[in-house]
């Protein structure tokens, strides 16, 4: 996502002919878009995207469980781990 943002900023600076990117080659200005495409292809191929999605899902699930335990007056998983 950072590469995409960088690419958009460089593209705008080149198009508006503002600052150093105005004199740079189009290849340099468009390189972050290519790098973003390579990153996304690698992330999908390696399973990185799926692994991060599963981690977010597990965090949300654990937060939900902790909220429900707290609502009924039971210790949350974090406090029960500290007692061990």
Taking only the tens of pLDDT, the chain with its 84 residues reads 899 999 999 999 999 999 999 999 999 999 999 999 999 999 999 999 889 999 999 999 999 999 999 989 888 766 555 554
* CA–CA gap between residue 52 and residue 31 (Å, rounded): 26
Residues with Cβ within 8 Å of residue 39, at least 6 apart in sequence = 3
Contacts of 67 (CB under 8 A, 6+ apart): none
The predicted structure's pLDDT at residue 75: 80
Give the per-residue pLDDT at 81: 55
Supply the pTM of this predicted model. 0.64
């Amino acid at each position: 996502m950072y590469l995409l943002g960088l690419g958009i900023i460089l593209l705008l600076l080149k198009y508006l002919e503002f600052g150093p990117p105005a004199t740079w080659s189009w290849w340099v200005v468009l390189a972050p878009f290519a790098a973003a495409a390579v990153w996304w292809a690698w992330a999908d191929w390696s399973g990185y995207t799926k692994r991060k999605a599963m981690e977010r899902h597990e965090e949300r699930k654990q937060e939900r469980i902790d909220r429900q335990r707290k609502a009924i007056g039971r210790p949350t998983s974090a406090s029960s781990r500290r007692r061990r």
